[in-house]
Structure 1
Amino acid sequence: MRTQAPISAGMFHLLVIGTAVLFAGIPLGVSKSTIEPCSSADPCSALVGYTLYTDLKVSEVAALFNADPIALLLTNAIDISPQGVENLILPKDAFLKVPVTCSCIDGIFKSGSVKYTSRLSDTPDYIAATVYSGLVSGDQIKEGNPRAIGSDPSTLGVGTELWIPLPCTCFNGTDNNIPAIFMSYVVQETDSLPTIAGNYSTTVNDLTTYNNLGTNETEAGDVIAIPLPACPSNFPRYASDFALSVPSGSYSITAGRCVQCSCGPDSRNLRCMPASMEVSCTSMQCRNSNLMLGNVTAQQTPGGCNVTSCSYGGYVNNTIVTVYLLILLQIILITAASVPRDTTAPPSPPTPIGSSKVIHFSFACPSSGWWCSGSRHNTILPNSFIYLGDSISTHSK
């Protein structure tokens, strides 16, 4: 068994969380989990990597993590259009990324809303190792539920509600100053840091840094934090979906299942539009305009284009907040083959929620290149989900 890293305030580390199994007084395995200390921090969006211990319906998996079944499917880019998709049976050993809210509890980031109701023959160790696939330890469940479990875990009654303190991490929602969401992942027998890094588009250096590891210093059963590229939101603190973050290449549902947000594989801007769910929703029309949420229009002018958009600003008091944006594009024609970008200019301030804003934006393009529509460039207009070069006639994204 390797030596535990020293614990210090403000540092993240790999923590021994107790023996997973005891037989004849001999510890057969010790699991470790990366934890992130905190103090009065805001909650963040996080993921846990879950392997099904048996065949389960989508709704049953969601119930284990207090998650929306549709959000669970969208996070894993699974089609939600079939009727009764929540009753879809997922096979044993299927791997899912499960969205959770990561909160600061007792000085450590944990999932605070995951509850489990005990069944016949359940024990804390069985619940931890089997039902939750090793994401948490039996000792952590005991420590989080002293009154419910008591001194003898073997007498856990049927129907006892338990809090499952799943470890999770936030790390300020960035990975090397790039938006990211962190997934708690149980290391498998066949895993190594290079294979994990390759599977999740990160680096061995990042894994060792976030988990305070030496090279390849992982064992099966360890729970580590993996940074995944993501599109963050910029909603106000009083929005119920504050801190929403969507992993690259996936989707999320919010605003009472009325709004669906996506994160493209090569984008860091959150794109939101009306969801196709059969639910009652508040108005999604932008104030002082005819645009609906997700609409973008463009009008060519002698000097460039006027672009207007209606974007999502959060879910406040059961109301969908929309943001109307008018962007004035001034095009400077040049003959060079490339499109220069000013990377030194400070970012534009956030758009006030529920208000309108006019942005004057100048850029250069080849005389034979982009006008109000054309080829895509890797430049995003400030405070919007529009790329320079997107086709932006009136439509819903």
Structure 2
Amino acid sequence: MPNPKPSSHSLFSTLFLLITFSISTLVSSKSTIEPCSNADSCNAMVGYTLYTDLKVSEVAALFGIDPISLLTANNIDISYPDVENHILPSQLFVKVPITCPCVDGIRKSVSTHYKARPSDTLSSIADSIYGGLVSADQLREANSVSDPSVLDVGQNLVVPLPCTCFNNSDNGLPAIYLSYVVQPVDTLAGIAARYHTTITDLMNVNAMGSTAISPGDILAVPLSACTSNFPRYASDYGLIVPNGSYAITASHCVQCSCSAGSRNLYCTPASLAVSCSSMQCRGSNLMLGNLTMQQSSAGCNVTSCNYDGYVNGTINTMLSVSLQPRCPGAPQLPTVIPPPTTATRQSIYAPAPAPSPMESGGLHWPKSQGGIMLPPLGSFPASGPAASTAAGSVTSGCFVIKPLAASQLTVALYGLVCLCLTAGFRLL
């Protein structure tokens, strides 16, 4: 006896279940939120992929930051001629430094503003221009937009960016946190290897119950860093610099570098230094960054001229004298790179690799190409929150769902309906 044809009732019941399942699958993007209750702030970063060719100054303006800070965060040479007008290629991935305050009980950056242009929508701003770091719903809520389909040209929009502080530490060591949008080919192991951390650490920081991640999720990734010990009254108090990069401070007069694997800043006069106060340590002939060493039977006597913060327009220096078991080698500074002219795909577009054992039993970490990585393009945006344990302190949180932009959801459902109806009519 031949199988009976499916009724229209059963067909549309199946269609409804498929749509329901698809919606529940597509809106599951999450991000890590750190609850807070005080008025302090910290330095943080977001990972951003350029949606088109942009000048350095344009990328900086997009996030409301100093172009110099964008360059130094990615270890790019700031002395390159006319560097602020250098054009960065589309699809280049950069780390963008931001300030992370406590706003409405959670950590988020609200210092970024965007002026709407013709044809802009909340979805296009969120998905394309800011690469999924924010959602259309978050933009609508932050700006009290009643009709998301209508934006006035020139309208000033607050762009709430995800960020975390966690006391600027990770397992008791200095760290700065990068908000990273998961890409379709990413794995948690690959992200851990790329940023020199561990799977366990990522899971703990992001309150993950498993290693499963989805495109559009936003992970808080701890980056090892060097911290400063400047006095609280210094304008650059709390300066923290990720491994393998540098920062410019003291009104562009001082450069503080953090070499790979180091925990201590090494500060010297910056290449941009023009009209700067004295950088000589009192009571010595040493200039900022200089040191002398003298071997003795008791060890190595080391005298160094160190930077001690920028106070009321004056560069503070401090002469340090110590006896060390052996004389230290020359400071190892990160090698700065010229501004990128191409966004090479190479193997970075392949799935992010997991750590692979070496013959010595250690781990092999993929190099970051001078601090700039190019992950693949994202698909759906993400945002939301999580709980975390970092630096010995426990902070409670939760996972939230960030809906897809209306246009994306409409297209997805429309395609699903067409597919199911086509299959259904073939059966009838």
TM-score bracket for the superposition, by shorter chain length: 0.7 to 0.9
Structure having the larger proportion of residues in strand? 1
Q: Deviations over 1:195-237 (max 9, x none)?
A: 1111111111111111111222311001110111111112233
Q: Is the 8 A contact 1:312 1:322 kept in 2?
A: yes
Q: Is the 8 A contact 2:281 2:288 kept in 1?
A: yes
Ranges in structure 2 where 5+ consecutive residues have no aligned partner = 1-22, 332-428
Counterpart residue type for residue 390 of structure 1: G
Partner of 1:171: 166
Aligned-CA RMSD value: 2.1
Bigger-Rg structure (1/2): 2
Change (3 A) 1:270 1:196: same
Partner of 1:124: 122
Q: Is the 8 A contact 1:168 1:184 kept in 2?
A: yes
Change (3 A) 1:162 1:318: farther
How is 1:315-394 mapped onto 2 (pairs within 5 angstroms)? 315-327=310-322, 329=323, 363=325, 370=326, 373=327, 389-390=328-329
Partner of 2:31: 33
Partner of 1:108: 106
Secondary structure of 1:92's aligned partner: coil
**Whole-Å Cα distance in 1 between the matches of residues 139 and 316 of structure 2?**
39
Partner of 2:41: 43
How far does residue 99 in structure 1 lie from its aligned partner after superposition? 1.0
Ranges in structure 1 where 5+ consecutive residues have no aligned partner = 1-25, 330-360, 364-369, 374-388, 393-397
Percent identity over paired residues: 61
Partner of 1:144: 142
How far does residue 84 in structure 1 lie from its aligned partner after superposition? 0.6
Q: Deviations over 1:147-169 (max 9, x none)?
A: xxx31132221222222111101
Structure having the larger proportion of residues in helix? 2
How far does residue 391 in structure 1 lie from its aligned partner after superposition? 5.0
Q: Once structures 1 and 2 are overlaid, which stretch shifts more, 120-129 or 255-264?
A: 120-129
Work out whether 1:221 is the aligned partner of 2:222. Answer: no
Task: Give the paired residue count.
Answer: 309
**Whole-Å Cα distance in 1 between the matches of residues 207 and 298 of structure 2?**
54
Partner of 2:50: 52
How far does residue 290 in structure 1 lie from its aligned partner after superposition? 2.7
**Whole-Å Cα distance in 2 between the matches of residues 244 and 317 of structure 1?**
17
Q: Is the 8 A contact 1:136 1:165 kept in 2?
A: yes
Partner of residue 225 from structure 2, selected from 226, 230, 243 = 230
Secondary structure of 2:209's aligned partner: coil
Q: Is the 8 A contact 2:116 2:153 kept in 1?
A: yes
**Whole-Å Cα distance in 2 between the matches of residues 197 and 293 of structure 1?**
36
Q: Is the 8 A contact 1:109 1:168 kept in 2?
A: yes
How far does residue 41 in structure 1 lie from its aligned partner after superposition? 5.0
Q: Is the 8 A contact 2:165 2:177 kept in 1?
A: yes
Q: Is the 8 A contact 1:44 1:244 kept in 2?
A: no
Counterpart residue type for residue 201 of structure 1: H
User: What TM-score does the superposition give when structure 1 sets the normalisation length?
Assistant: 0.73
**Whole-Å Cα distance in 2 between the matches of residues 267 and 220 of structure 1?**
33
Q: Deviations over 1:34-75 (max 9, x none)?
A: 110111153111111101111111111111112221221121
Partner of 1:260: 255
Q: Once structures 1 and 2 are overlaid, which stretch shifts more, 180-189 or 41-50?
A: 41-50
Partner of 1:272: 267
**Whole-Å Cα distance in 2 between the matches of residues 112 and 269 of structure 1?**
30
Q: Once structures 1 and 2 are overlaid, which stretch shifts more, 296-305 or 111-120?
A: 296-305
Secondary structure of 1:185's aligned partner: strand
How far does residue 305 in structure 1 lie from its aligned partner after superposition? 4.2
Q: Higher relative contact order at CA 8 Å, sep ≥6: structure 1 or structure 2?
A: 2
